Structure 1
C-alpha cells in the first residue's frame, strides 16, 4: 500500500471515529470498534513508514 493511500485511510477513519464518538459516546461499542480499526491503521503506518529509532 502506498504511503499516501494509508494516510488517507487514517484520516478517513479518524473523522469517522470522531463522528461516531460524538453521536454515541466515546465508550460505545461502535466507537471502540472504530478506535481499534484506527489503531491498526496507525500501527501499519508505523511498521511500514516510520524509521526505527535505536536506543543505545
Structure 2
C-alpha cells in the first residue's frame, strides 16, 4: 500500500512530511500517514480509426 507522510514519523526509517513510501497493509497505517489512491487503469488504446477526408463541401483543385 502506497502512503504519504503528513507529519514526521518512523516506519523502517525516519520519514519527513511529503515522503511517499510503501507499507505492508492497513494494519501498519499510522495517523501521520495518508493512503495514496491508486491511479485507475487506463483502457488499452485500440486501433485508430482511419482518417476521414476533410469535408469542406468543395472539390479538390485539379
TM tier relative to shorter chain: under 0.3
Q: Which has the larger radius of gyration?
A: 2
Q: Which has the higher contact order (CA 8 A, sep 6+)?
A: 1
The two structures have a TM-score, normalised by structure 2, of 0.22
Q: What's the TM-score once normalised by structure 1's chain length?
A: 0.22
Larger strand percent: 2
Larger proportion of helix: 1
